[in-house]
Amino acid sequence: MTQTIGIIGTGALGTLMAWHWRQTDLYAARRSSDNPPFVILTGDDLHEFQAMPWQGEPLDWLVVCTKASDALKALQQRQAWLGRVDHLLLLQNGMGQQQQVADWLARQPLAPTLWAAVSTEGAYRTETGQVVYAGKGHTHAGRWSESDIETTVALPPGVLPAADIRERMLAKLAINAIINPLTGYYRCHNGELLTEPDRRRHFERLSEEVADFYRLQGWCSQLDIRQQALSVAEATARNKSSTLQDILAGRPNELPYICGYLLAEAARNRHDLPVTQDLYQQLTSGA
């Protein structure tokens, strides 16, 4: 049976996921009332496809691909329809918003089950507004409530189950907490953090700080954070981080849910993250 999937947030990632799910009964919750088609460039091929406008129809999955800061508001705006949604999946950078949504859903009648996802898929929007599929990866999802595990739910096509979803999210958060603020600060592509001496030294200091804090917290004990951040920066050398794209476009960025999340956890444990704190203050002081 074909799944019924709705998407909130039709930026680069939302467009990419819609592309993967175009063979399902696909709905999109969009600001534009004229429901324009999705357009994505994969390799040398430009594809155009359509989704139905979501107006409260029953859904197997409602997938939220907005910025982290917009997740709760987007759901509150559609509160009356959530009773017709079986499962809610948050697919975003950062951490903190998942628990905000979980706390809010706990107060709602007939709330959908809450899932969280992390993806290594790559997509970006060009200056002309075109979404480019920049790199194939994997998307994993798991129940947010660790005490309420389901093993029989059919996930959206191509999404892999993960019992350790928080660990996977923390692993991605560590890399984002290094690459995103630094590329935003230096206004540079990912690979340029490694090729200029001052930037490379800054990269090393921040990597050490994040890795030390993760060890203190007992997070991702098998992950070599410095080496993984180095590998990601090299593999995505020509990419602009989402934070840099937001800064250049004058949009709010997700650093409050990346650096801000780590700083809040550090404060709770009376631990200082001076390199992270300095970058965060400089990049959010004008926000």
Which residues form the catalytic set? 172
HSE-CB at 103 with a 13 A cutoff on CA atoms is 6
Write the single-letter amino acid at 104. Answer: W
Helix (H, G, I), strand (E, B) or coil at 121: coil
Residue type, 94: G
CA atoms within 13 A on the CB side of 259: 26
Can you tell me the distance from the alpha carbon of 228 to that of 94, in angstroms, rounded to the nearest whole number? Answer: 17
Parallel/antiparallel/unpaired status of strands 113-119 and 59-64: unpaired
How many angstroms from the chain centroid is the CA of residue 286? Answer: 23
Which sign does the torsion angle of CA 7, 12, 13, 18 carry?
positive
